[in-house]
């Protein structure tokens, strides 16, 4: 079965939506160590720990870019607003505001960087916009949730891993689009 670019956009949108509750569930339930009254942590580099939800947020940034690429900026903006609302509903009570605000600001920062860069190079646009989004998300979430930037390095590295792991797929999609003559949205 051949999946159309629009179908790929719908799959990216579904994946984007699933990242949000999964990230919120992970942060409270999965880790090599759970801080009493705080997040569950996972190692993201030697000697560097991060709240476990970081992996899904890194993926969400890439999927948002793909939603915009396949369905358009309007769908991407609606997905961000819906994602922020969903994040607020599924976050643990102590993290509702931090989760929703960080998600909203980081995804719109990602959108603002991705939009002008995407026509100059998809992989570069995804990488650059994701870096901006993951830094914004990390700073805002940690400060609002815990009043501390103690896990900032881990947050940034953990999200960056997921972005880096996604870039070969983005490059593959871009090459396939070029071969098919599919123009970016």
Domain range summary for the chain, segments of one domain joined by +:
5-177
Residue 27: the pLDDT is 83
Give the Cα separation of 138 and 58 in Å (integer): 10
Higher pLDDT residue, 11 or 100?
A: 11
Give the Cα separation of 166 and 146 in Å (integer): 29
Whole-structure pTM value = 0.86
Residue 120: the pLDDT is 87
Give the Cα separation of 170 and 126 in Å (integer): 8
Which residues does 163 contact at the CB level (< 8 Å), separation at least 6?
58, 61, 62, 126, 127, 130, 131, 134
- Sign of the four-CA dihedral 152, 61, 126, 81: negative
pLDDT (average), residues 16-27: 86
**Short-list 151, 158, 127, CA closest to 57:** 158
For β-strands 48-51 and 40-45, DSSP reports them as antiparallel
Which residues does 177 contact at the CB level (< 8 Å), separation at least 6?
5, 183, 184
Percentage with pLDDT > 90 across the chain: 48
**Short-list 113, 120, 111, 125, CA closest to 76:** 111
Give the Cα separation of 177 and 116 in Å (integer): 19
pLDDT (average), residues 115-131: 92
Are 50 and 162 in contact, with CB atoms under 8 Å apart? no
Residue 185: the pLDDT is 44
pLDDT (average), residues 55-83: 89
Instruction: Count the neighbouring beta carbons within 10 Å of the beta carbon of residue 179.
Output: 8
CA atoms within 13 A of residue 148's CA, in its CB half-sphere: 6
pLDDT (average), residues 108-124: 91
Phi first, then psi: give them for residue 34, nearest 5 degrees: -110, 120
Residue 81: the pLDDT is 85
């Amino acid at each position: 079965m051949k999946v159309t670019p629009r179908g790929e956009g719908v799959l990216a949108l579904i994946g984007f939506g699933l990242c949000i509750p999964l990230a919120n569930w992970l942060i409270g339930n999965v880790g090599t160590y759970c801080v009493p009254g705080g997040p569950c942590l996972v190692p993201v580099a030697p000697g560097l720990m991060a709240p476990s939800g970081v992996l899904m947020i890194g993926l969400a940034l890439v999927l948002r870019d793909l939603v915009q690429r396949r369905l358009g900026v309007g769908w991407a903006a609606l997905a961000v607003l819906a994602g922020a609302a969903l994040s607020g509903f599924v976050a643990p009570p102590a993290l509702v505001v931090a989760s929703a605000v960080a998600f909203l600001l980081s995804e719109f920062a990602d959108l603002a960087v991705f939009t002008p860069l995407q026509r100059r190079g998809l992989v570069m646009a995804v990488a650059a916009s994701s870096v901006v989004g993951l830094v914004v998300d990390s700073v805002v979430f940690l400060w609002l949730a815990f009043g501390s930037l103690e896990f900032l390095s881990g947050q940034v590295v953990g999200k960056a891993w997921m972005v880096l792991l996604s870039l070969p797929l983005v490059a593959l999609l871009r090459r396939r689009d070029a071969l098919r003559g599919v123009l970016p949205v």
